[in-house]
Structure formats: C-alpha cells, structure tokens
Amino acid sequence: MADRAPAASGSAGTDRPDDAFVYRDGRLSAEGIALDRIAQSVGTPAYVYAGGAIRTAYRRFAAALSPLGVAIAYAVKANDNLSILRLLAAEGAGADVVSGGELRRVLAAGIRPERIIFAGVGKQADEIAAALDAGIHQFNVESLAELDVIAAVAAARGTAAPVALRINPDVDAGTHAKITTGRSENKFGIPADAAADAYRRIAADPALRPVGLAVHIGSQLTSLAPFRAAYRRIADLATALRGDGLPVERLDLGGGFGVQYRDETPPDPADIAAIVKETVVPLGCGMTVEPGRALVAAAGVLLARVLYVKAGATRRFVVLDAGMNDLLRPTLYDAWHPIVPVGAPPAGGDAWTADIVGPICETGDTFAEGRRMAPVAPGDLVAIGRAGAYGAVMVSRYNGRAAPAEVLIDGGRFAVVRKRPSFEETIADETVAPWLARPG
C-alpha cells in the first residue's frame, strides 16, 4: 500500500504491483470489498487481511524454491490466526513453531506433523513431549542444555528425537539490532566452532537422531549478501561434519526475507533460490526455508478511526483509536508503516504534515512522526499498511484495552476471524482475592 494519494480518484492509487489494498470507487478496498464496510460491521481498530495476497506470496516462494527441493515452513510467529494457518495449510505449507501453543494451533489448522519444525531457545519439557507425541519433523536445537532435556523426554518415551543443530554463524544481517539473531553476541544458536562436538554428542545418544543443521540470522533482511554468507557457512560446516563421518541430511535455511514497507528493495524469491542453488543445493540435503513476514506482511492493514486532530504548540497530532497495544512495531523498532485515508483524497489535493499517534498514555505511542499525508478529520478511517506480520500477534491489553478484531477478506467475502472481546471477556480470567471485599 502506497502512502500517497491516488493518482486519480478511482484508480488503483498504488505504485506497488503486489498491493492488495487499492482505491476502488474512491474507497480503499481489497478484493472488491471496501474497508469502510468492514469498519461499519466490526468497528475499529481491526486488522484486515487479504487472503488472495497471502496465497500469491506463498506461491511466489513455492514457484522459486520447490523446483530445488526446498520445503516452506511458515514462521507462525508472524501471524498465528487460525484462518491464516488454515489457508496456508491448504496451500501445502509446513510450519515453524516456537512454543507448545503455536504447535497446537498449527495442528488444529491441519498442518501435517511431518511438516512441523519446533525452534526457539526456551523449549520446555512438556512442549517437547507434545511435539514428540505429535511426530513432528524436527527440533532445531539451540544449546547443549536443551539437548539434555530433549534426550531425557525422548528416552522416557522410548523414541529418538530428530534434531538439527541451529548454528550461530556470526554473520551481520544488516537489520535492526532488536531483530538480529546471527551475531555471536546474540542468544541464538550454537557457535560454529562448537558444532562438531555437539553433533557428535547427538549422534552418540540413542534418544537423539542427528538430522542436520539450521541457521537464521535475523528478520527484515533486504540484502542478499548476509544470506549467502550464512548459507555458505552451514554448507561448509555440513561438509566438515560429513568428513568426520557424521550424517547431515537436512539444512534449514531459516527465514528473514524482507518486505517493502517504504522504499526498501527486498530480495525476490528467485534471488534467494539462486543463492540456495549456489551454496547448498550441491550437498544434496533436504532443505527448508521459514518465511514469516514475506508471506503475510503486505496482506494486512490495521484499520483505525481518527478521534481527534489536535494542534500542539509545534506539531499537529492526529489521534487514532488504535494504539501501540494494537501495533507495536513503530514503538519498538521505529518501524515505518504506510498510513493512508480509507476515503481516497482528491487528486492533487493538499498534503499535511502530522504526527499520527494513539490514545495510550506514553509518548512512544506514535505510529508516524512528521508524516506527509492527505488531511484527515475526526471520524475518518485510516489504514496502517503492511501490518499483516508481527501486528496482531504482538497485541497487548495495556491501558485496559480490548484486542482488535481480525477480519479475513477472501474471494469477495469477508468473515470476522477473531472477534473483539467484550469487557466481560477481558476480565473473565481474573479473580479478586477473596479477602478483598468490595468497599462500602
């Protein structure tokens, strides 16, 4: 979604060919459904997803990578809505999960256990047990201590857990510090020089089955060089392990494929495929990638209403009914998201500069600072774009707020796929301590 006014009223209003949200008859729409219709029916704030855009993104990855024998395990952390999981399951996607909760979600959505990878630095024994019982494809292991727990849980079940070692290749992904994972100072993975010993330890334990190596160096990568460096690193390591007589059958290449929020030029799946071909295909391993953001970011917007336009001493503030509790990325990573009015502004109309903020009592509750945009007025709807990844999954209830509704548009229909909880539902899990009698 472009953050500028459409070239002419009624035109697509976008310069991004993959854009699912376009102006149609003067209103921002997806698959022919105008977003004001959705706001009327479910209220705001609400996440709105375009199912067709998710399928298109998945198919672009599959078309580039499947011919090389690379499987796609969707990184569920990007958006774990059951309808999105079901949609991706129907496309044939596997899943990368990082908790027992995500595991149960993907199983409920119908993703086959043999397509599920369990990653993450803090797996717990009960989660490991559930994954073993389900018969998942593999565990990506991040420490020797974790190996001991997996081995103990598997031994108690008389089985051998398939494990891949996640390597920390010490490669700079060139992305935001908070989403960099492949530097030696990051908590993720096992250092490459400790890998051979760890792999031998796995091979020697009858409760563990060594299946290969995994790498993931960060998220929202927009250049290819770090991918090439990381893939080369694990290819070299796999060759060395094989030289020691150890079996390396699988390579998990992680995710991290960036998307365009503003003016980035993220890698195309075909570019990734070329690097995979050059670096790891010659090893003849089974391969997986774990894209999250690249499959869902562009397919979602956060729909919000303008509450107030406030003239500060030095700046103009547009106060929305959505806040940092609904979409945390701008606050947490200074992330830039496009923000456009749902009603198409007149072509050639004036632009404003405004800070676009939420209602939360924190200065960091700011979606955009000094943003040039078409003027808006109280009551207008706006869409915060590229919000399909790491949006709804990072919602909090800060300031006593209910989670936003989520809506899926798909093939000219739409459905509420997560309803906004009522006030009663938001307090239903709480119990007032029995000795605290209501005063008076």
Q: Which residues are catalytic?
A: 361
Rule CB under 6 A: say whether 319 interacts with ligand LLP.
no
Rule CB under 6 A: say whether 388 interacts with ligand LLP.
no
Rule CB under 6 A: say whether 162 interacts with ligand LLP.
no
User: Which of residues 45, 189, 255, 338 is near ligand LLP by CB under 6 A?
Assistant: 255
Binding mask 13-52 for ligand LLP (x = CB under 6 A): ----------------------------------------
**Closer of 75 and 235 to ligand LLP (Cβ):** 75
Q: How far is the CB of 109 from ligand LLP (least distance, A)?
A: 18
Q: How far is the CB of 266 from ligand LLP (least distance, A)?
A: 10
> Binders of ligand LLP among 212-251, rule CB under 6 A?
216, 219-220
User: Which of residues 27, 105, 123, 293 is near ligand LLP by CB under 6 A?
Assistant: 293
Rule CB under 6 A: say whether 119 interacts with ligand LLP.
yes
Instruction: Tell me how far apart the terminal alpha carbons of the chain are, to the nearest angstrom.
Output: 55
Closest CA relative to residue 198, chosen from 168, 230, 154: 168
Q: How far apart are CA 313 and CA 328, in angstroms?
A: 26
Q: In this structure, what DSSP letter does residue 266 have?
A: P
Q: How far apart are CA 421 and CA 428, in angstroms?
A: 10
DSSP-assigned beta bridge partners for residue 310: 317
Rule CB under 6 A: say whether 257 interacts with ligand LLP.
yes
Counting DSSP H helices and E strands in the chain, the numbers are 12, 21
User: Which of residues 290, 380, 406, 410 is near ligand LLP by CB under 6 A?
Assistant: 290
Q: How far apart are CA 124 and CA 117, in angstroms?
A: 15
Q: Which two tokens stand for residue 202?
A: 């796995």
**Closer of 294 and 342 to ligand LLP (Cβ):** 294
> b/e string for 227-265 if b means 16 or more Cβ within 10 A?
bbbbbbbbbebbeebeeeeeebebbbbbbbbbbbbeeee
Rule CB under 6 A: say whether 96 interacts with ligand LLP.
yes
Q: How far is the CB of 314 from ligand LLP (least distance, A)?
A: 30
Cα 204–chain centre separation: 36
Evaluate whether 341 touches 302 at the Cβ level (below 8 Å). Answer: no
Q: How far apart are CA 254 and CA 146, in angstroms?
A: 20
Q: How far apart are CA 134 and CA 143, in angstroms?
A: 23
Rule CB under 6 A: say whether 99 interacts with ligand LLP.
no
Size of the site for ligand LLP (CB under 6 A): 22
Amino acid at residue number 306? V
Rule CB under 6 A: say whether 169 interacts with ligand LLP.
no
User: Which of residues 51, 182, 254, 269 is near ligand LLP by CB under 6 A?
Assistant: 254
The pairing of strands 46-50 and 70-75 is: unpaired
**Closer of 293 and 305 to ligand LLP (Cβ):** 293
Evaluate whether 189 touches 121 at the Cβ level (below 8 Å). Answer: no
**Closer of 199 and 257 to ligand LLP (Cβ):** 257
> Binders of ligand LLP among 330-359, rule CB under 6 A?
333
The residues binding ligand LLP (CB under 6 A) are 75, 77-78, 96, 119, 179, 181, 216, 219-220, 254-257, 290-294, 329, 333, 390
